[in-house]
Structure 1
Amino acid sequence: MRRLLILLAVLASATFAIATPAAATPARTLTVLSFNIHHAAGEDGVFDLDRLAAEIRRTHADVIGMQEVDRHYGERSGWTDEPEELAARLGMHVVYGANLDLEPPSAGQPRRQYGTAILSRYPILEWRNTLLPKGKPAEEQRGLLEAVVNVRGVHVRVLNTHLQHDSADSRLLQAKVVADAVVASDEPVVLTGDLNAIPTAPEITTLTAHLRDGGNAFTYPAPVPTARIDYVLTNGLPLYSKVLPTEASDHRPVLTALAVWR
């Protein structure tokens, strides 16, 4: 796989020489994983953070966008601070977007949070989490987590989101906010996410109007996938993408190698 990535990167560099002659810096290759981790519980129903960390480690991903991440949320994940625990196990930087932020079970305990996280081998220069619109007040709060990552001198804006699961209208509202963030970015963009829609849906084409999609394989449910709802999209150049088997979640992760430049 690594030899293939190197070959593709060389070919991509030749493409950049034609397509981006004014580029200030050479292209940077980046391996990105999108993973709905289901709070580290697999199809077997077992919460196992070590199993999840081992699966992520084997991908050798530079950046990981994770959805359904618990932070002191409850018994289902052992009241664990999952983003910090995974960052420590993997030796990576981390930022977390709490889209649900609930009162603690008792005074003096941490707040119960649920949302998304970004792990990165490279330094994270800045970050923010923006709450996305709801189609109906009763819907779960969703968010857009953004982190600017310094990839060997090229600043890359990594976006991570989890769109509404049961309403196409709500997903479209949310996708338009994400698309606006893509257009407004001064940096090259990578978007990871469980978008809960197939590639031809309007909420996805709203995003692929601005971003390239290098994938084509089903991601859900994990044992025998029948739908493609998890993505890595970029306005760089996708070089290679594959969906990986997993025992650590109910979604299969998407691993994409891509090139970005300024």
Structure 2
Amino acid sequence: MSVSVLSYNVRYAAVDSGEDVWPKRRDGVASVIRFHAPDVVCLQEVWLDQLDDLRTRLPGYEWVAHEVHKGEHTPIGYRPERFVVADEAALSLSETPDQPDAIGWDATIPRVTTTAVLEETATGEAFRVVSTHFDHEHPTARRESARLLADRFADGALPTLLVGDFNATPDDDPYRIVTDSGLRDARELADAPHGPETTFNDFEAAQPDKRIDHAFVSEDVAIERFGVRTDLDSRGMYPSDHFALLVECAFE
């Protein structure tokens, strides 16, 4: 079974002004997803009204999403004509992961991770997708978040993709914690990764040394293509301050 997965930090709605406000960006965000037409979409920095906007603009997807009080969603979209949800959960990146509203360690806000087990209706084959977003300010929270997710999802029980904004580069501890667990960086596995190494643009230009969004996969996932998508919207501007990652993979 081959599956394409797109991961995209779409930027909070309430923090920008001028040309970067969400009402001017939402059509562009939806267009990136619609044009690349992934089977599965994993988003970060999504508040409730943003998810409603994207539901309207992306009617081909159903969503696994868990609201967090005063926090973000990390929703997972999937094509219902191809997959059914066999299992789903939300966990906080905290010492009490079963309490989605918990703030972990020295983090700034609640950080929720969404996980879904998707089963292909035609074959019955299943795989696991995890969408996450690590704290942007505090290294302890990022390290402990990496340990939590590595412990939970590097078990080999199902083909697994762990994707999102880790706010950590390959030189940082969280990246090494995840890869030491047996999960592998999809970019490093790709024969010819497409696009810049950086994944952050700050709405202006690609920022060197900012490869902070990643897609990690278990050993039973083969990477067919990997790309960092630098699409502009109809205004000729970036629709988010991050670039989207597009991974095409097959389960062995």
Instruction: Flag whether TM exceeds 0.5 (same fold).
Output: yes
Cα separation, partners in 2 of 1:56 and 1:43, compared to 1, 3 Å: farther
CA drift at 1:62: 0.9
Cα separation, partners in 2 of 1:42 and 1:258, compared to 1, 3 Å: farther
Corresponding residue for residue 242 of structure 1: 227
| Structure 2 residue 183 is the aligned partner of structure 1 residue 211 | yes
CA drift at 1:43: 9.1
1:203 and 1:165 map into 2 onto residues whose CA distance is 12
CA drift at 1:186: 2.4
2:84 is matched with which residue: 95, 99, 123? 123
1:97 is matched with which residue: 66, 77, 83? 66
| RMSD between aligned residues | 2.1
Corresponding residue for residue 23 of structure 1: none
Corresponding residue for residue 45 of structure 2: 68
Corresponding residue for residue 245 of structure 2: 254
Cα separation, partners in 2 of 1:42 and 1:150, compared to 1, 3 Å: farther
| Structure 2 residue 200 is the aligned partner of structure 1 residue 220 | yes
- TM-score, with structure 2 as normaliser: 0.78
Secondary structure at 2:6 match in 1: strand
Is the 8 Å Cα contact of residues 221 and 252 (structure 1) preserved in structure 2? Answer: yes
| AA partner of residue 162 (structure 1) | H
Higher relative contact order by CA 8 Å / sep ≥ 6: 1 or 2? 1
- TM-score, with structure 1 as normaliser: 0.75
Corresponding residue for residue 34 of structure 1: 7
Cα separation, partners in 2 of 1:185 and 1:229, compared to 1, 3 Å: same
Q: Which one has the bigger helix percentage?
A: 1
| AA partner of residue 20 (structure 2) | G
Cα separation, partners in 2 of 1:43 and 1:221, compared to 1, 3 Å: farther
Corresponding residue for residue 216 of structure 2: 233
Q: Which one has the bigger strand percentage?
A: 1
1:86 is matched with which residue: 54, 74, 78? 54
Secondary structure at 2:72 match in 1: strand
Q: Matches of residues 35-54 of structure 1 in structure 2 within 5 Å? A: 35-39=8-12, 44-47=19-22, 48-54=25-31
Give the structure with higher Rg (CA).
Answer: 1
1:21-47 deviations in Å (ceiling 9; x for gaps): xxxxxxx11111110001367993132
After TM superposition, where is structure 1 displaced by more than 3 Å over at least 4 residues in a row? 39-44
Is the 8 Å Cα contact of residues 38 and 249 (structure 1) preserved in structure 2? Answer: yes
CA drift at 1:84: 4.0
Cα separation, partners in 2 of 1:219 and 1:42, compared to 1, 3 Å: farther
1:87 and 1:131 map into 2 onto residues whose CA distance is 24
Q: How many residues align?
A: 213
For structure 2, the residue ranges without an aligned partner over 5 or more in a row are 95-103, 189-196, 232-237
For structure 1, the residue ranges without an aligned partner over 5 or more in a row are 1-27, 72-79, 103-112
